[in-house]
Chain A
Amino acid sequence: MTGRADRLWGYGLLVIATIVALAPVVGVLILSLGESGRVGAQIDIANANNWGNFAEVWSKGGFSSSMMTSAVITITVVLVSVCLSVPAGYGFALMSFKGRSWIFYLFVLGILIPIEAMIIPLYFDLRSVNLANSYLGVILPEIGFSVAFGVFWMRAYFIQSARSLVEAAWLDGANSWQTLTRILVPLARPQMLTLSVLFFVWNWNDFLLPLIMLSGSDLQTAPMSLVFFVGQRSTDYAYLAAAAIITITPVIIVFVALQKSFTRGLLAGAVKE
């Protein structure tokens, strides 16, 4: 086979794969502009111009408040988790203290614990201290899960890339805090960005934890609003599609803007779990 034929063949397959990946999403986008309440689930490109669907769903589906709730929860979790992961990763990577290894192993275990395996007592325990059904009831456990991965990820990075720098700084008489804030934090900016993107996507998308922790309150996250909306209007496909598009928009924006960081995170981080 000639190189040219190979090339065309390769691109052709890649284009087909890309179409398969995107078609359902594009389909939903077109569906979301269709006429609400019309029986059936067919898309109609010619009449896909009902932009008012988004406004309707925004108010009827409770998205005006749930998007805000999701934003508050997600942004808090991202910021706090990054701020806790960096110093802890530094400590585990470069400082020696008693029990370092086994405390770290318990952290690694956190990456492997699914929410399902701790959500039951978590709910009962947080309810008994009045933390369930509040922002904190979602935020604190989400931070716990996020730092399990974040500490693991920052530690691996500091061990690989920062040892000699830190050693030099310490020999020059810098104390441990100065070393962190003046040398490591500027150095680790790209890693911190990657971590932020991963945390953002995971926490925005999470459903089970807020579903249970907020079950006794009026608070809803965007995925919860979407699912409740499905329950109320299971066959109003134009509205459901609009609700789905609203729910994913922030993640798509963050992901497309920062996709390089995301890919690097998956490739470098996941395997070391």
Chain B
Amino acid sequence: MTSLTARIKAAGGRVNDAPSGGRAPGEPSRIGYLYILPAVIIYGLFVFAPFLHSIYLSLFDWDGVSPMEFVGLKNYGAIWTNPIFRSAFVHSLELVFFYTVLPLAIGLVLVSAIQRTRVRGTAFFRTALFIPYVIAPTVIAVIWRWILAPKGPLNSALDAVGLEAISRPWLGDFTFALPSVGMVGTWVMFGLVLALLLAGVQKIPQERYEAARVDGAGRWMEFRAVTLPGLRYEITVVLVLTVTSALRNFDIIYVMTSGGPGYATVVPSYLVYQQAFKVGAVGAAAAMGAVLVILTIVVNLLVARGGRGAS
């Protein structure tokens, strides 16, 4: 909690100082509760309470119908020992490469090439680049199921240029299914990343680049000394958004592969659904949900720390 306090302070927030004693004249300070109450009740009843309940369920063996049996941390142990459960979390980390590392690398390369251009028509480019990110993931899945289909546009394009050897049923291939789904994530994210980095790079004062050039900095030094530090804030945003999406991609997996072929593309959020509502292993599913929360929080704290540490 202390680190969270520090983060809020670092972000310009104040944790505990309200103006004028924090109340209007003649009103008790308790009146603050009235303003937060409606939001607190709905959040508490429909998000926070079920979350705590889920952690409680994770300590039991339960099929959703029969009596529950307390098993302690067994369900958490199963995430490690059950090869399918474990592979789901490994897949998640592989997807972070496709959702975060690859788009960020592409974005940084492009932005350092574009950085000297004062782009006109920014609003148009930004809108276009954001489109993949605002489209419903279910729709994205439908689009890419088509593109990657055995007789879809990708394979015909490969055949047309004489690369028949490469074309294959991408989503049915044990080796290529996960990278294929990952590349969809790269497509969704790279526009967002580029648009955010472009917005950031335009705010870097031109004098810094001139100063770097006067000092005889080449392109690479200029990138490292000026562009990268100037984009620290935007990179933090990008990391938070993309990693969170990489860890929660239920919709795309559900529509594109249902975790298959075999278990080649299972991810934790798909397993939570499948185990709880199809298999009837409610406790195991709840444990996976809890681990997913812990992963999300840890990653966000790491990103926040990195964002501060670089300053």
Contact = CB atoms under 8 A, between A and B. Distances in A.
B84 interface: no
B139 A248 contact: yes
Interface string B64-78: 100000000000000
B220 interface: no
A67 B192 CA distance: 27
Interface string A169-181: 1110111100110
Interface in B3-53: 4-5, 8, 11-16, 18-27, 29-36, 38-40, 42-43, 45-51, 53
B47 A97 contact: no
Using C-beta atoms within 8 Å of the partner chain, give the interface range for chain A.
Answer: 35 or more
A91 B57 contact: no
Interface stretch (B93-101, B142-150, B172-180, B222-230): B142-150
B247 interface: yes
A207 B137 contact: yes
Tell me the dominant secondary structure on chain A's binding face: helix
Interface in A1-37: 3, 6-7, 9-11, 13-14, 17-18, 20-22, 24-25, 27-28, 31
Interface in B151-165: 151-153, 156
A58 interface: no
B276 A176 contact: no
A170 to B, nearest CB: 5
B289 interface: yes
Contacts of B195: 263
A96 B126 contact: no
Contact of B297 (A112, A170, A260): A112
Max chain B CB contacts within 10 Å: which of A103, A143, A237, A266? A266
A201 B38 CA distance: 23
B132 interface: yes
B134 interface: yes
A37 B271 CA distance: 34
Given A22-B131, A116-B250, A207 B196 contact: no
Contacts of A42: 151, 153, 156
Given A24-B147, A97-B33, A110-B47, A43 B153 contact: yes
B38 A88 contact: yes
B181 interface: no
A116 B153 CA distance: 34
A95 interface: yes
Contacts of B5: 101
Contacts of B31: 95, 97, 176
A267 B196 contact: yes
B282 interface: yes
Interface string A239-264: 01101100110011001100110110
B125 interface: yes
Contacts of A237: 146, 149
Interface in A37-66: 40-43
A204 B54 contact: no
A114 interface: yes
Contacts of B273: 116, 119, 208, 212
Contact of A148 (B43, B152, B288, B307): B43
Given A204-B136, A227-B255, A112 B293 contact: yes
Given A118-B50, A240-B146, A247-B139, A21 B132 contact: yes
A271 B147 contact: no
A198 B56 CA distance: 32
A185 B29 CA distance: 21
Given A96-B22, A251-B136, A103 B116 contact: no
A10 B18 contact: no
Nearest to A269: B237
A115 B56 CA distance: 16
Contacts of A271: 11, 233, 236-237, 240, 307
11 contacts: A13-B110, A17-B190, A18-B125, A28-B143, A110-B47, A120-B282, A141-B50, A144-B46, A163-B19, A207-B137, A251-B134
Q: Which 4 A-B pairs have CB atoms at the shortest separation, nearest pair first?
A: A96-B22, A10-B117, A91-B35, A95-B32
Interface of A: 3, 6-7, 9-11, 13-14, 17-18, 20-22, 24-25, 27-28, 31, 40-43, 84-85, 87-88, 90-97, 100-101, 103, 105-110, 112-122, 124-125, 140-141, 143-145, 147-148, 150-151, 155-156, 159-160, 163-164, 166-167, 169-171, 173-176, 179-180, 201, 204-205, 207-208, 212, 215, 223, 226-227, 230, 235, 237, 240-241, 243-244, 247-248, 251-252, 255-256, 259-260, 262-263, 266-267, 270-273
Given A110-B47, A267-B237, 8 more contacts: A10-B114, A10-B119, A114-B247, A124-B64, A141-B46, A150-B39, A207-B254, A227-B255
